Structure 1
Amino acid sequence: MTVVLACDLGGTSFRAVLVDQDGAALAESVVPGPVPVETLDRSEIDPAAWWSTFLAAATRLAEDRPDLFGKIRGIAICGVTRTQVYLGQDDRSLRPAMTWKDTRAEAAAARLRERLGDHPEAPRVNAFHPLARLAWLGEEEPETARALACVLEPKDYLNLRLTGRRAGDPVSMARLAACAQVVDGRDAFARAGLGAALLPPQREPHEPVGIVLPGLPEPLDRIAGVPVVCCSNDTWAAAAGLGALRDGYAYNISGTTEVLGMVGSEPVEADGLLTVDWGGVWQVGGPSQNGADTVSWLLSLLGRTGDPVGPATAALLDGDRDPQPLVFLPYLQGERVPYWNPALRGAFVGLNRRHGPADLAYAVLEGVAFANRLVLERAEAALGRPAVEIRFGGGAAANPVWCRIKADVCGRPVVVGEAREPGVLGAALVAWMGTGRFGSLAEAQERLVRPARRFEPDPARRAAYDGLYTIFRRAEAALAPISADLAALARGSGALPGMPAPATSGPEARAHA
């Protein structure tokens, strides 16, 4: 028996799985990911921490299943995107990577858009755009910017450490690659005072990057010479693992954050959404800032702990619900699609004295689903037809209540795949393609992806959610300016300091009595 090593570098954990030719996961290792260093608008991780995490996961697999570890025939790693690793000429990182949550480039993005002028990428430049972050580096860390030789995604950094070769894929690198388009004799890099040489060589998912180098730390020395195949970001891999990489299907990947989009056979534009060539098909959609992490926040707020889609959440949902629903705006960390606004803030709207934990829990799940519906509506309008179904994966797909809410809110069937980790299965499809087992991604999806559960929309609940969705959109519009004002207070001198603790004795203590 032979296997491939399929890995998913997530926002909070690193997952490494040995997968056989039938798509079965035979051994799995999950290691907590590095904790980012964060302030109000900063979010950074030392790339070396990802390498240490990869080694830890590989070591566990080798210890648990030494018989299988020696039979690895290919490696593919998918991972988080909108996160940049900055390398010098010697392939060493020059500074911590800026994660998908970092918003320090917001002001630099506004200045950059002016310099880009009529370049087609200019309207897409925002605080999360890789070129905006490069512009920020040029303004705030000019020495680092001058020493910069290449920009990689985290999964590509791991491939570099494994093979000694730089490479990226056209899906993960789509926004940075688009900057290389020449308009009136100049590309976006030149207009920003940068060089297009920062882009690594591009490989399609399933194309080889290189082979595992000899002399790497244990247990990687046991798999020296094994091919490392270029994969893509975790969204693309999960969509492949759900069988959603085909015309007319929508996908929803719900982990720490949500990613939703629809796949079409032609490129179309939709306000606030990303249109990316996924190799023969085009996706219209993109990532949000909120998902299961929002449920984690609620559990913490209520003094409860546990998996955000597990028993702790189920216990909340089992409680009685007040006849008057709440509306929840899920923008606890700003928002990417479709608003690309780091200043948006969350809110519960309509609280009354009778509302309890169950009401809050339902409002949170529904708020995230309403944000999904907004993205889906824009994608369907651009493509000119409704989605056949929504292929749903990630941690939240294990929660049947959330599945039903999404089906009812969006008015589309929601289908959950058999694979517990579709991103890992997608990486395995790519790895097996790299070994020659499958001739195409379509063939790999047909052979290895198996749906498990289907949730049809309930017409009565759909009608009720239509009314609540209208209120949700009105609340968004009404509170967005207030969110901006509150965010500005936090960045300026208007933030309120904490109250001093009262004295424990003396006149001041008597004054507080």
Structure 2
Amino acid sequence: MSIVLACDLGGTSFRAALVDDTGCIQAQHAIAGPASQDDRSGSSEIEAEAWWALLIEACSGLAAGAPALFEAVEAVAICGVTRTQIFLDRNGRSVRPAMTWKDTRSNALAARLRETLDPAHPESAGINAFHPLARLAWLREQEPEFFDRLACLLEPKDYLNFRLTGRRASDPVSMARLLAVAASHDGRDLLAAAGIPASILPEMLEPWEEVGPIQSDLPAPLDRLIGKPVFCASNDTWAAVVGLGAMREGYAYNISGTTEVLGVIGREPARAEGLLTVDWRGLFQLGGPSQTGADSVTWLLALLGRDGAEIGPEIDALLGRPRQSQPLLFLPYLQGERVPYWDPSLRGALVGLNRQHGPTDLAFAVLEGVACLNRIVLERAETALGRAATEIRFGGGAAANPVWSQVKADLCGRPVVVAASKEPGLLGAAIVAFTGLGRFVSLAEAQEALVIVARRFEPDPALKPAYDALFALFRRAEDVLAPISRDLVAAAEEKRPLADLARHASAAAILHAD
């Protein structure tokens, strides 16, 4: 039996597992991720060293719980959250905290970049607060003392690979947006036009290529893996799609964790408004990440005074009760939105509340609101590709809930297929490692051998008219409420009169205390 160490650095947790060559997880250790430091300015930051500490802690847990298996590890592969920038100096030290996928401080600067940079460049329209070019331009403008020290930009999984091997490298999937602005168009590239040196780009490797062997002088228990190969891997979405067996033409995928990612896989590149087209090394994905998902459920449970640490049982209890005949609409934009709107000023809403609505109605509204957003992305991708997806491979924590799987199937009108592995990101990373070791000739062969389907949810034809009507109302509500959301956000940010309302809450708290 061959064993690899697979890791998945997620938005809210770090998971490490010892996986055998049948795709079975023999041992696993999960840790809550470092909490980002967020504030009202749009800042969201994490110290890079915190992720390194998590890797050591997770490996320590595995080595203690399964020492023989840990000693048998033949290779390491780490996938990880993307749209998060780690800034290193020439000595490999972090010059400032990493900017996470939630950071929106560069929103105004991104708008200026779109106006001033070459509009004919294919990437110009996609520059927004979540784009690495906007983040780098913000750093150059707002923190020049740190920008001047910048020598290399890495994603979190690349940083861990660097700490393990000493080599600064990434892959073209994780760095797709940065590579896009660095690409020349009619002799001009956006990276240089924004004053960002191309020298900050790390070396590019394919996900299944080796970064290097694990170096010596690492803390325990990593010192027991000296010389083992570390494979580059890619972002957590790409790895999870491999782990779901969805890296195939005509398939759609939906990875649902704290936030969701949805896309469709095609043989040729296609473009659609608000969606990302990324070369996934022989195939192309059209879709991208949202800001909503299980986090919306966590928010709801907190709002209802329920145990947010027990999301599964709590949401199951709510969904198991009758709902009112008049449904609610939920716009799930609690943190703004990335795909397909790329607007940090969008806000959520519950539309249609009446006196009879209760927690169960709210729970269904949240699930259906997220599924409506899934459908928008799916329809845009399918239209651009000129064909419907054959099925949606569904993975992540929410895939354990059969009601949510069925809601997605009914609202999107496509079969939803759940794989047997509850950790598709870990399985995808393991598939990368086994492919890199030569156990399989390709990722396609590896996913065919190691991915097993557990359940299939077919759309209910009887519900199609009702969900089509709900979706149409959802789109109308979006159109009407988006401008109001932006005005509310602007009022708070610009200290206009509406922002003064916050003082009433403070005064009320003081009076209550007295």
Following superposition, the deviation at residue 307 of structure 1 comes to: 4.7
Asked if the contact 2:302–2:308 (Cα under 8 Å) also holds between the matched residues in 1, the reply is no
CA distance in 2, matches of 1:44, 1:330: 23
Following superposition, the deviation at residue 185 of structure 1 comes to: 2.8
User: Which deviates more from structure 2 when the two are superposed, residues 301-310 or residues 277-286?
Assistant: 301-310
Alignment of 1:2 with 2:7, yes or no, is: no
User: Which deviates more from structure 2 when the two are superposed, residues 206-215 or residues 107-116?
Assistant: 107-116
Following superposition, the deviation at residue 184 of structure 1 comes to: 3.5
The alignment's TM-score, normalised by the length of structure 2, stands at 0.97
- Corresponding residue for 2:27? 27
Following superposition, the deviation at residue 254 of structure 1 comes to: 0.3
Asked if the contact 1:262–1:284 (Cα under 8 Å) also holds between the matched residues in 2, the reply is yes
Following superposition, the deviation at residue 319 of structure 1 comes to: 2.2
- Corresponding residue for 2:398? 396
User: Which deviates more from structure 2 when the two are superposed, residues 5-14 or residues 107-116?
Assistant: 107-116
Following superposition, the deviation at residue 183 of structure 1 comes to: 2.5
- Corresponding residue for 2:200? 198
CA distance in 2, matches of 1:3, 1:446: 19
- Corresponding residue for 1:98? 99
User: What secondary structure does 1:147 align onto?
Assistant: coil
Following superposition, the deviation at residue 179 of structure 1 comes to: 1.4
User: What secondary structure does 1:14 align onto?
Assistant: strand
User: What secondary structure does 1:340 align onto?
Assistant: coil
User: What secondary structure does 2:182 align onto?
Assistant: coil
- Corresponding residue for 1:441? 443
CA distance in 2, matches of 1:59, 1:313: 33
Following superposition, the deviation at residue 387 of structure 1 comes to: 0.4
Asked if the contact 2:253–2:264 (Cα under 8 Å) also holds between the matched residues in 1, the reply is yes
Gaps in structure 1 of 5+ consecutive residues: none
Q: Aligned AA for 2:26?
A: L
- Corresponding residue for 2:362? 360
Alignment of 1:12 with 2:12, yes or no, is: yes
Q: Which 4+ stretches in 1 moved above 3 angstroms?
A: 306-309, 501-505
CA distance in 2, matches of 1:306, 1:94: 35
- Corresponding residue for 2:158? 156
- Corresponding residue for 2:434? 432
Following superposition, the deviation at residue 318 of structure 1 comes to: 1.7
Query: 1:293-330, CA deviations, whole angstroms, 9 ceiling, x for partnerless residues?
Result: 00000000000014564110011112221110000000
CA distance in 2, matches of 1:254, 1:307: 17
CA distance in 1, matches of 2:105, 2:330: 27
Query: 1:70-103, CA deviations, whole angstroms, 9 ceiling, x for partnerless residues?
Result: 1111100001000000111111000000000000
- Corresponding residue for 2:110? 109
Structure 1 residues 416 and 307, CA gap change in structure 2 (3 angstroms): farther
Structure 1 residues 465 and 227, CA gap change in structure 2 (3 angstroms): same
- Corresponding residue for 1:142? 144
Query: 1:170-211, CA deviations, whole angstroms, 9 ceiling, x for partnerless residues?
Result: 001000011121124332111001111111000111100011
Alignment of 1:132 with 2:134, yes or no, is: yes
Asked if the contact 1:9–1:77 (Cα under 8 Å) also holds between the matched residues in 2, the reply is yes
Alignment of 1:335 with 2:337, yes or no, is: yes
Query: 1:322-351, CA deviations, whole angstroms, 9 ceiling, x for partnerless residues?
Result: 110000000000000000000000000000
Q: How does 1:74-473 map to 2 (within 5 A)?
A: 74-117=75-118, 118-307=120-309, 309-473=311-475
What is the number of equivalent residue pairs in this alignment? Answer: 506
Query: 1:96-132, CA deviations, whole angstroms, 9 ceiling, x for partnerless residues?
Result: 0000000000011112223321322111100000000
User: What secondary structure does 2:104 align onto?
Assistant: coil
User: What secondary structure does 1:151 align onto?
Assistant: strand
User: Which deviates more from structure 2 when the two are superposed, residues 159-168 or residues 303-312?
Assistant: 303-312
Alignment of 1:51 with 2:56, yes or no, is: no
Asked if the contact 1:12–1:35 (Cα under 8 Å) also holds between the matched residues in 2, the reply is yes
Structure 1 residues 382 and 309, CA gap change in structure 2 (3 angstroms): farther
CA distance in 2, matches of 1:380, 1:453: 24
The alignment's TM-score, normalised by the length of structure 1, stands at 0.97
Following superposition, the deviation at residue 461 of structure 1 comes to: 1.2
CA distance in 1, matches of 2:261, 2:39: 24
Alignment of 1:70 with 2:71, yes or no, is: yes
User: Which deviates more from structure 2 when the two are superposed, residues 309-318 or residues 294-303?
Assistant: 309-318
Q: How does 1:486-497 map to 2 (within 5 A)?
A: 486-494=488-496, 495=499, 496-497=501-502
CA distance in 1, matches of 2:244, 2:100: 26
Gaps in structure 2 of 5+ consecutive residues: none
User: What secondary structure does 1:179 align onto?
Assistant: helix
CA distance in 2, matches of 1:155, 1:268: 28
Following superposition, the deviation at residue 37 of structure 1 comes to: 0.2
Query: 1:10-68, CA deviations, whole angstroms, 9 ceiling, x for partnerless residues?
Result: 01110000000110000000011100000121110000000001100000000001101
Asked if the contact 1:309–1:396 (Cα under 8 Å) also holds between the matched residues in 2, the reply is no
User: What secondary structure does 1:310 align onto?
Assistant: helix
Q: Aligned AA for 1:26?
A: Q
Asked if the contact 1:319–1:357 (Cα under 8 Å) also holds between the matched residues in 2, the reply is no
Asked if the contact 1:79–1:233 (Cα under 8 Å) also holds between the matched residues in 2, the reply is yes
Following superposition, the deviation at residue 504 of structure 1 comes to: 7.4
Asked if the contact 1:293–1:308 (Cα under 8 Å) also holds between the matched residues in 2, the reply is no
CA distance in 2, matches of 1:504, 1:445: 62
Q: Aligned AA for 1:319?
A: R
Following superposition, the deviation at residue 501 of structure 1 comes to: 4.2
CA distance in 2, matches of 1:202, 1:112: 26
Asked if the contact 1:309–1:398 (Cα under 8 Å) also holds between the matched residues in 2, the reply is no
Query: 1:347-380, CA deviations, whole angstroms, 9 ceiling, x for partnerless residues?
Result: 0000000000000000000000000000000000
Q: Aligned AA for 1:497?
A: A
Asked if the contact 1:296–1:308 (Cα under 8 Å) also holds between the matched residues in 2, the reply is no
Q: Aligned AA for 1:19?
A: V
